[in-house]
Amino acid sequence: MGAPTLSSELSAGVDEAGRGALAGPLCVAAVILPPAFHHPLLRDSKTLTPAQREEIAALLKKVALAYAIVEVSVEEIDRLNVLRATLAGMVRAVNSLSLHPTIVRIDGPHAPPLPGYRVETHVDGDAIWPEIAAASILAKTARDAHLQALHEAYPHYHWAQNKGYPTPQHKKALQAYGPSPLHRRSFLQKLDL
């Protein structure tokens, strides 16, 4: 059997959510969609309402040929720095797929070492490639659900609303209560919090 033709290539999209947050893990998703899969909600997760994200995420989990969602812990982010931790999460997500893609398309300018894969990086790739948009949606919905659950244990930080991002409300809570074990110390140092 020769090299796969373009029509038989399996393309995985990879994206993350939570990179700029002060608290909680990163979530990284890798997704392989069926060829020519289209849906009007399949676009950058930031352009969708929470209800739309949940709707398309449920569909993507049903129709995807393969998908994987991994978490990168606060400890790993603080130890490695957010970029290296993100790249490590991308490797784990791709390696967790049940199918081996022919090409891996990553949102953003940076790619981790992925021996055995053809890798492309695309700034704003979630607006170009459906598989990256799908990864964006799965990563975002997984992380939002995780922060919603963490809110129950730490309600005074308002993570159900801010998802760990540095909103004025979140910063005010940090000043009043100090950091939780789920805050990224490396981020707080940069903000002098």
- pTM for the predicted model, two decimal places: 0.92
Burial of 18 (0-12, 13-18, 19+ CB in 10 A): buried
Determine the pLDDT at residue 193.
64
Q: What is the DSSP letter of 31?
A: E
Q: Note down pLDDT in tens along the chain; length 193 residues.
A: 333 334 468 999 999 999 999 999 999 999 999 998 999 999 988 899 999 999 999 999 999 999 999 999 999 999 999 999 999 999 999 999 999 999 999 999 999 999 999 999 999 999 999 999 999 999 999 999 999 999 999 999 999 999 999 999 999 999 999 999 999 999 998 877 6
User: What is the structure's pLDDT at 9?
Assistant: 86
At 64, list the tokens: 């995807």
pLDDT at position 44: 86
Are residues 72 and 89 in contact, defined by beta-carbon separation less than 8 angstroms?
A: yes
Predicted pLDDT at 25: 97
Contact 45, 29 (CB under 8 A): no
Residue 137 lies in a domain: yes
Domain extent, residue 161, equals 7-191
CB 86 within 8 Å of CB 25 = no
Number of domains in the chain: 1
Residue 2 falls inside a structural domain: no
User: Quick check: is 174 in a domain?
Assistant: yes
- 1 lies in some domain: no
Q: Is residue 27 part of a domain?
A: yes
Amino acid 2: pLDDT:
37
Classify residue 75: in a domain, yes or no: yes
Give domain status of residue 25, yes or no. yes
How far is 107 from 123, CA to CA, in rounded Å?
Answer: 6
Q: What CATH code is carried by the domain that includes residue 172?
A: 3.30.420.10
* Range list of β-strands (E), 18-72: 26-32, 66-72
DSSP state string for 119-141:
EEEETTGGGT-HHHHHHHHHHHH
